[in-house]
Amino acid sequence: MKGINTWSHTPYRPFLTNVGEPYICRIAPSNTAIHFEWLDTGDTSYSIFYRVRGKEPFLHASTVTETSYDLTELAPDTDYEFFVTAGEKKSRVRLARCGKSIGTVVNYLHPDDEAYAFSGRYLCSPSLVRHPDGYLLASMDLYAAGYPQNLTLIFRSDDNGASWHYISELMPCFWGKLFLHRGDLYMLACSTEYGDLLIGKSTDGGKTFSAPVTLLRGANGKNGSSGVHKNPQNIFRHNGRIYETLEWGSWSNKEYCHAAMVMSCDENDDLLCPENWHFSKPLPFSQFDTTLSELPNTTMTIEGTLALSPDGTILNIMRFGKYHHAIAYEVNSQDPDAPLEYSHCIRFPANYSKFMIKYDEISQRYYSIGTIAYNEDNTSARDYLALLVSQDLEHWEVTCDLHDYRGIDPEHIGFQYVDFEFDGEDLIYLCRTALNGAHNFHDANYSTFHRIRKFRNR
């Protein structure tokens, strides 16, 4: 066995762990069918076997020459097991549950499927970008509380999101955001929850990435220690610099929990050189004014999104532990090392899950897609997703409902952590979706792609 000097893998094979060959790299169930794909092993044919979960025996479905298959005429709301063979080789037995989904399924992972247990069991951290060559790229990581949380999967669409296929995997990579700079693709991520902050570059559309560079060291967040906390937020550009948000701390830090930060770099500098990046001094939450006097110092301030206010101030607008509010910090655009300064609170209807804000030059409005907080007795519910619009960053309104599952099962349905892009007259987004037998609303089993046509007319 040789040492590894790359970040990308197809697939990542943990030492002494059987990931199966053929390697099933994508699953997309629907109401009465399961589509799945595997990597080419060079064999001339592949045999497909399946059964209702736990029922004997496995049935031979077909023998094919392609590297994908659709199990059809299946029963809704039913779990199935399946695998692929090629000669003496056999894939892992995978799981999927039939049921009506939303949008286009980029990828699916059954909560009892052990395929990625070396990292996690649920799909998290959706990141979406359109490559200059026209195709779309989507990434997601593998999460579960108490698990290593260090693998990210990347998929590609060549038909504007109508279909998707597997590209590669990054290890270690968590909370990652794909973004473009000077025509090249980058990934900014953590090595694991509260781990090191990493950045790497791809020149072939995500198939391979350079070995990651460490920008900031983290202490993993265990036993009250602190590390890097971030989420897949948009890269913000202003006056020749690029900015991104992050936090320092951890949920187990009982002193201040998370402290707000921004990182920035001159857009002409090499992004893979750690010395070119500046980090603002972490700013813990405090009772900045009388309206916050009842909130403890460990109040949630995480997952900030950057926006330029109408008066030209860069604001870091953060998910906040006060119902129907976001908290805004001002970024010092003259001194990249200076700490953020508290600005004010904003009435915001989607504050108990990560949200992203982007300014649309055409309509001259700010847009966000948020999980709406509609019940103060159940602030964790994430079963209502909507498109939000504002003219001034201060006054927000719901311009259209996207997915409204209120009243069905708030404990096991969730639409959250949306990453979106303006796409001509449309808006496209990737959603962390919990539906059809998810472990719970937070631990998603789908990554789904969506398009809002002519969103400005909404």
Q: What is the pTM of this model?
A: 0.97
pLDDT of 249 reads 95
CA–CA gap between residue 200 and residue 240 (Å, rounded): 21
Beta strands, E only, 144-235: 152-157, 165-170, 174-181, 184-190, 197-202, 213-216, 227-229
3-state secondary structure 388-434: EEECCCCCCEEEEEEEECCCCCCCCCEEEEEEEEEECCEEEEEEEEE
Q: State the average pLDDT over residues 46-58.
A: 96
CATH 2.120.10.10 region(s) of the chain?
104-457
Considering only CA atoms, which of 123, 218, 107, 226 is closest in space to residue 434?
123
Amino acid at 201: K
Q: Across the chain, what does the average pLDDT equal?
A: 96
Q: State the average pLDDT over residues 87-105.
A: 97
Q: Quick one: 8-97 is in which CATH superfamily?
A: Immunoglobulins (2.60.40.10)
At residue 52, φ and ψ (nearest 5 deg) are: -60, 140
Q: What is the pLDDT of residues 300-317, one digit of tens each?
A: 999 999 999 999 999 999
**Those residues with Cβ within 8 angstroms of residue 391's Cβ, 6 or more apart along the chain or in another chain:** 364, 365, 366
CA–CA gap between residue 247 and residue 230 (Å, rounded): 6
Q: What is the pLDDT of residues 99-137, one digit of tens each?
A: 999 999 999 999 999 999 999 999 999 999 999 999 999
Residues 347-383 as b or e (16 or more Cβ within 10 Å = b): ebbbbbbbbbbbbeeeeeebbbbbbbbbeeeeeebbb
CA pseudo-torsion sign 60, 62, 65, 69 = negative
Q: What is the fold, at CATH topology level, of the domain defined by 104-457?
A: Neuraminidase (2.120.10)
CATH 2.60.40.10 region(s) of the chain?
8-97
At residue 357, φ and ψ (nearest 5 deg) are: -120, 130
Q: What is the pLDDT of residues 138-195, one digit of tens each?
A: 999 999 999 999 999 999 999 999 999 999 999 999 999 999 999 999 999 999 999 9
Q: What is the pLDDT of residues 363-402, one digit of tens each?
A: 999 999 999 999 888 888 999 999 999 999 999 999 999 9
pLDDT of 376 reads 87
**Those residues with Cβ within 8 angstroms of residue 72's Cβ, 6 or more apart along the chain or in another chain:** 32, 33
Q: What is the pLDDT of residues 247-293, one digit of tens each?
A: 999 999 999 999 999 999 999 999 999 999 999 999 999 999 999 99
Q: State the average pLDDT over residues 407-415.
A: 95
Considering only CA atoms, which of 383, 453, 395 is closest in space to residue 425?
453
- pLDDT bin (cut points 50, 70, 90) of residue 1 is low
**Those residues with Cβ within 8 angstroms of residue 140's Cβ, 6 or more apart along the chain or in another chain:** 106, 107, 123, 124, 125, 126, 127, 152, 153, 432, 447
pLDDT of 312 reads 97
